[in-house]
Amino acid sequence: MAQAPIPVLVNGAAGKMGREVVKAVAQAEDMTLLGAIDKSPEHMDKDAGELAGIEALEVPITDQFEPMLALASQERQQAVMVDFTHPSSIYNNIRSAIAYGVRPVVGTTGLSPEQIQDLAEFADKASTGCLIIPNFSIGMVLLQQAAIAASQHFDHVEIIELHHNQKADAPSGTAIQTAEMLAEMGKAFNPALVEETEKLPGARGGLAQEGIRIHSIRLPGLIAHQEVIFGAAGQVYTLRHDTSDRACYMPGVLLAIRKVLQLKSLVYGLEKIM
């Protein structure tokens, strides 16, 4: 007998990421879209599928969060709530979902360490899986894991990240995170052979931890790209990730929906379930 499909609630279903999730869940054979929640009045009662640019799914956008959790809790198959809402609401959203026995998969960032700790205890007590995933890009996690492996054998590394020129911050959060992961290896990278002189201040990039330099390129036409370049005598080893569309996060979202059903506690980070 075939497994019944996983019932999925999408919270924030009218947002950019929410629409992608609606589409991905609708197209996954082992899932069914149970509900589509969003607080923005302009999309109320629209069909979630049509809003996402696919066929009608007969699932209207609603702002009735708790009733949807109650509905989901009555499904015979364990239900999952995917949350791409707002930093200010996710703490309560997660607690409510767990209280109803619905398993949260949360992509919104902004929880404090204390909040995460508190939610972890709450999930533990309820023996309910809960996934908090700041970055759903499987490709970026693979790049970071490959970079960590390489850093055990290479002493020299620099990071280049390239983004469209509407991005205000430099370096990107992901580049900073990558440098932090490498820095945790506990070694000083890029021991200098010569005393460097910057004829233009900043030419050598921004200095992150442990001697790792990050260079940020901003140009229209670029989307979101990161390179980690390792060098040693006679060789260069480069890892590059290019993102061109939010669709790239969906394999990670679907993986998280499947995995959260097997968990009995809170887990943080996509790398933990890959």
Selection from 99, 98, 232, 245 nearest residue 153 by Cα: 232
- Please, which residue, 128 or 226, has the CB nearer to a second copy? 226
Q: Does 165 bind a second copy (CB under 8 A)?
A: yes
Q: Are 104 and 98 in contact (CB under 8 A)?
A: yes
Query: Binder to a second copy among 88, 169, 186, 262 (CB under 8 A)?
Result: 169
> Among 89, 116, 177, 218, which residue interacts with a second copy (rule: CB under 8 A)?
218
Q: Which of 163, 215, 241, 259 is catalytic?
A: 163
Instruction: Quote the CA–CA distance of 129 and 230 in Å, as a whole number.
Output: 38
Tell me the chain's radius of gyration from C-alpha atoms.
Answer: 21
| Residue 134 touches a second copy, criterion: CB under 8 A | no
Which member of 71, 116, 120, 142 binds a second copy (CB under 8 A)?
Answer: 142
Within 248-267, which residues bind a second copy (CB under 8 A)? Answer: 248-251
Assess 215 for contact with a second copy (CB under 8 A): yes
**Token pair of 15 as six digits:** 């947002």
Using CB under 8 A, which of 62, 73, 216, 265 touches a second copy?
216
| Min CB(175)–a second copy separation in Å | 9
- Asked if 163 is an active-site residue, the reply is yes
Instruction: Say how far apart CA 184 and CA 188 lie, in whole Å.
Output: 10
Q: How many Å apart are CA 78 and CA 271, to the nearest integer? A: 23
Q: Which stretch binds a second copy (CB under 8 A): 80-88, 91-99, 118-126, 243-251?
A: 243-251
Residue (of 134, 126, 2) closest to 73 by Cα position: 126
Give me the residues paired with residue 228 across strands: 159, 239
Q: Which residues are registered as beta bridge partners of 27?
A: none
**Is 167 among the catalytic positions?**
yes
Beta carbon of residue 28, minimum distance to a second copy (angstroms, whole number): 13
Provide the annotated active-site residues: 163, 167
